[in-house]
Amino acid sequence: MKFFSEIGAVCSALEYGSSAVSGIVADGIRALATGVAPFLSPSATIVSEIAKALDIFKENDRSEHLGQAMEQMDKKLENFDSINEYIDYLREGIKSGEVKLIRNLSDIEKTTYTYTVTALGIKAIDEKYQLQPSDIFWVTIGGKFQEGKITPDEVNKILEISSKNNVSSENVANYINGDGMTGGQRASGVADVIEDGLIAANPNMSDEEIASRFNKLLEK
């Protein structure tokens, strides 16, 4: 129950701070938080790892610092041509001291900043791969990661190959969940994308090991 009450507090904080934090990002994290509390933390881990691999986030970036910069800096996401430019702007504000960092944050404040920056990372990943936003994808993948059935590198490769083959991340989640496809996409094509992503992330695995990894991902 404690975790669910914390998520409620996070959502309330986002509502309160919507004038300071980009509305686009606040909407994204509110959507992630709605009814999917158990998978928020693993989803945040995956997003962070992928964003670092794509050079969106740096190893020394801290969510609580970037989140405070999003509140305090004058320019917002919509003022930039790309999310990477916006994140560079936030970093500069932190480095220059323009952002007045609060060091002793409450657990709720830390959680709020983590998920605000997670939503920003998701938008940057979508932008990188030219993907339509899909809350169900990150919820599904967060659950599978929590169960030890997929790694951040595998997720990244699946997204990369999805983009190249014009397969929506929503349909990747639909296939994993055993749901129907949307937008006229074929389940066989989506399956190929998932399998190719697993192969790309695990080049030393045998065909049998890839098949086992694939089947494990589909387990309920």
Check whether residue 116 and residue 172 sit in a common domain.
no
Check whether residue 118 and residue 143 sit in a common domain.
no
Check whether residue 94 and residue 146 sit in a common domain.
no
pLDDT of residue 8: 43
Check whether residue 107 and residue 142 sit in a common domain.
no
* Residue 220, pLDDT above cutoff 90: no
> What is the rounded CA–CA span in Å between residue 119 and residue 128?
14
Other C-beta atoms closer than 10 Å to the C-beta of 211 total: 13
Sequence-separated (6 or more) residues with CB below 8 Å from residue 31: 135
Check whether residue 217 and residue 112 sit in a common domain.
no
Give the side-chain half-sphere CA count within 13 A for 191.
10
The pLDDT of 189-202, averaged and rounded, is 98
Task: Give the end of a domain, one of 129, 144, 170.
Answer: 129
The pLDDT of 113-121, averaged and rounded, is 86
Which of 1-10, 112-121, 128-137, 164-173 tops mean pLDDT? Answer: 164-173
Name the pLDDT band for 116 (thresholds 50, 70, 90): confident
Check whether residue 124 and residue 142 sit in a common domain.
no
Task: Give the end of a domain, one of 83, 98, 129.
Answer: 129
Check whether residue 3 and residue 36 sit in a common domain.
yes
Task: Take residue 27 and report the two structure tokens written for it.
Answer: 């909407």
Say if residues 116 and 14 touch (Cβ distance below 8 Å).
yes
* Residue 102, pLDDT above cutoff 80: yes
Check whether residue 49 and residue 15 sit in a common domain.
yes
Check whether residue 28 and residue 93 sit in a common domain.
yes
pLDDT of residue 36: 43
> What is the rounded CA–CA span in Å between residue 148 and residue 107?
26
Q: How far, rounded to the nearest angstrom, does the alpha carbon of residue 191 sit from its chain's CA centroid?
A: 22
Task: Give the end of a domain, one of 78, 106, 129.
Answer: 129
Check whether residue 150 and residue 202 sit in a common domain.
yes
Q: Per the structure, how many domains does the chain have?
A: 2
pLDDT of residue 134: 86
Check whether residue 62 and residue 147 sit in a common domain.
no
Which of 76-80, 103-107, 194-198 tops mean pLDDT? Answer: 194-198
pTM of the model: 0.83
* Residue 183, pLDDT above cutoff 90: yes
* Residue 207, pLDDT above cutoff 50: yes
Check whether residue 185 and residue 103 sit in a common domain.
no
The pLDDT of 17-41, averaged and rounded, is 50
CA terminus-to-terminus distance, the chain: 24
The pLDDT of 2-7, averaged and rounded, is 38
Identify the domain containing residue 118 by its residue range: 1-129
Say if residues 95 and 101 touch (Cβ distance below 8 Å).
no
